[in-house]
Structure 1
Amino acid sequence: MSFYTSLNGMKNAQTSLGVIAHNISNSETYGFKRSRTEFSEIVAGSALTNPRMIQGIGASVKSITQNFALGPVEQTGSALDLAITGDGFFTTRSATDGSTLYTRAGSFTLNGNGNIVSNSGNRLQLFPVDANGQVTGNTLADANLPPQNAAGSEFVGVTIDDVGVVSASYADGSVEPVGAVALATFIAPTGLKKVGDANWEGTGLSGQAAYGSPGTGAYGSLLSGALERSNVDIAEELVGLITAQRNFQANAKAIDTATQISQTVINLRT
């Protein structure tokens, strides 16, 4: 039994090493959230087993839990670089299948159609607003900046304020609000499913997304001209790396010891 107990320990250490390696490799990924490996004890016993004689049979990976703590905020100066200074996720629409994705990576740009898109081409979602920038509904729509205003003046720039109102500027000096950034929150964000490119999808574990405007209720404000960096702490990850390595070595040593004991028993002479 000790062979399999230690073998499970080695597999668990390998899983932990993989998670740590993934964290370290994404230490420069904007909007990335680190994960940690959590383990649970395994015991086996029947109703007739003396509770003082129940022997543990190792450990298993209980979960790989995401940590959504706020990462460092880096100033960039670009109007379409957005950081959420608090809770919430940017809501985007996938460019490939139209699914709804959530992200903390606020590096947005304009595409040829006037849409505000992420680096993956996913379209940022906005609430509708009136001429004064007040939200008028909760139906989400793609962020799209008209190339010309009603007077025929050309588009020259865009600004986003701390409550998420996106305003387009035109050559005649006019500024027109086109929508307000829609943030999403979840009752259990650790239940979100990673899909790559610092994007997540909602699941049954995370619950339904609740949408709101930045700076209201539980939703964080927006900081334009800034990006949220990865929340990976390299020093902490290196300590975890050493711990996982020692764990792996200890379990390997336990297997080696069990092998020697078995060999000794086999070689006994009567």
Structure 2
Amino acid sequence: MSFQQGLSGLNSSSKNLEVIGNNIANAGTYGSKSSRAEFADVYANSVGGSGNVGIGVRVANIAQQFSQGSLVSTSNSMDVAINGDGFFQLKSSSGDLLYSRNGQFKVDNQGFVVNGQNQRVQGYGVDPQGAIQTGVRTDLQFPTGGLDPKETGKISMALNLDSRSKVTMPTPTVPATDSIKLDDATTYNNATSVQAYDAKGQPATVEFYFQKSAAATVGSKDQWNIYAAVGGKVLGDAIPAKPIIEGLTFDSAGLHPKLSDGTALGSITLPDIPMDTSHAAIAGIKFDMSDVTQFGTGFTISESSQNGNAPGQLTGLTIDADGVINARYSNGLTRGAGQLELASFRNAQGLRAVGGNAWMGTPESGAALSGAPGSGTLGVLQSGALEESNVDMTGELVNMITAQRLYQANAQTIKAQDQVLQTLVNLR
């Protein structure tokens, strides 16, 4: 028996206590992962024989445990938690690529998404049309200014006209008068409106009126006329007022809308919207309602959209489960602003901890496998949440007591060896 076994036991137990203490210290650190001290016995080199006595113990490895931590909700939409496999990717000030599970992000004064150490979050940007550039990693950056106004150039509508509707078009008169009176609901069947915008983003409410008229000839189908109006006046200069779509018919199934000349309904150009005190003139708006049907159900609008907008200021950001970041504006619009990219490793325990809740890749970890959240084996994201440390406090306290007892036991072996040597010294 020598002092070496006891000393190695003391050193290993001390290192184990350090690991346990570090786990306990970081139990409240978001994205932190617990570590475990792994030990190996030590034997002296010898030739032959099977009765060798070990000479102690050594710390073989400090292994980090990358099990999932609990997710806790926060009130910050820029807080993001990973539910599943993967790491956020960060670029340090020196250009190194780091990996982290801590999703406490913010936007700096240049519009870059950064963490608490001002390391830039990596992801996919967007092109001028707002499409995400998947596969092209970059520093995520958002425009800090507002959304410019855009003049409406197209209005689209998908709806159903009730085939059971009664004819509301009045009998023609001589001289001709308007066949629709906007202030008389008995002259049309249904109405709806869409907000359009001029070049400065000033709104103009475009109203659409749907009027069922009797069949043009005996045995033919009833028809529909559609009028467009702004400010209580039907668009266009015709007298009497002229519909933008006239004599619309459907087949027996209520499908395949056709115009009075037999051509299929397609996109048309609305008459110019005249200028008034609240907005400028708007010209050349394309109107598409080719998805219209005529079923025996009520008048319903399944889609109504236009491509213009008022100016808006950035009011906030939200992050979807697939990592897509959406910018919210004061005009009610949302625009895609980028997408977070995650990375995974074949051997996550091979990563090297560098502090600040971050790791670096090593040859032992293998190359990073990057992709969008939810793709492959990568986890999904939860916005407004953070991942807590995976440290089990109860287990760590038990481990600390065990490590302390082991330290005391190894101290006893040194004490026993000292007593043996003292006995030898006292021999006469």
Q: TM-score, normalised by structure 2?
A: 0.60
Task: Give the SS at the match of 2:136.
Answer: coil
Does structure 1 residue 218 correspond to structure 2 residue 367?
no
Q: Choose between structure 1 and 2: higher helix proportion.
A: 1
Please give the alpha-carbon distance, in whole angstroms, between the structure 2 residues aligned to 1:118 and 1:45: 51
Indicate the residue corresponding to 1:88 in structure 2: 86
Partner of 2:98: 101
- After superposition, residues 26-37 of structure 1 pair within 5 angstroms as 26-37=26-37
- Which segments of 5 or more consecutive residues in structure 2 lack a partner in the other structure? 150-310
AA aligned opposite 1:69: S
Q: Which residue in the other structure is 1:140 paired with?
A: 137
Code of the residue aligned with 1:113 in structure 2: it is Q
The 3 A distance-change label for structure 1 pair 132 and 55 is farther
Match for 2:111 among 111, 114, 120? 114
Q: Does 1:50 align with 2:49?
A: yes
* Alignment-derived partner of residue 65 in structure 1: 63
- Determine which of 109, 121, 126 is the counterpart of 2:123: 126
Amino acid at match of 2:123: L
Counterpart AA for 1:26: N
Instruction: Give the secondary-structure state (helix, strand or coil) at the position aligned to 2:37.
Output: strand
3-state SS of 1:139 partner: strand
Taking the aligned partners of 1:153 and 1:132, their CA distance within structure 2 comes to 17
Q: Which ranges of structure 1 fall in alignment gaps of 5 or more residues?
A: none
1:45–1:54 CA contact under 8 A, matched in 2: no
Deviates more, 1:130-139 or 1:245-254: 130-139
Count of aligned pairs between the two proteins: 266
Give the Å deviation of 1:45: 3.8
Q: Retained in 2: the 8 A contact 1:28–1:229?
A: yes
Per the alignment, residue 158 of structure 1 pairs with 317
Q: Distance in 2 between matches of 1:207 and 1:72?
A: 27
| Conserved? CA contact 1:128–1:138, under 8 Å | no
Which of 169, 182, 189 is equivalent to 2:348?
A: 189
- Counterpart in 2 of 1:259? 418
Per mean C-alpha deviation after superposition, the further-off stretch among 128-137 and 202-211 is 128-137
Aligned to 2:418, the other structure's residue is in SS state helix
Deviation at 1:154, TM superposition (A): 2.0
Aligned CA distance change for structure 1 residues 135 and 223 (closer, same or farther; 3 Å): same
State the distance in 2 between where 1:110 and 1:119 align: 10
The alignment's C-alpha RMSD in Å is: 1.6
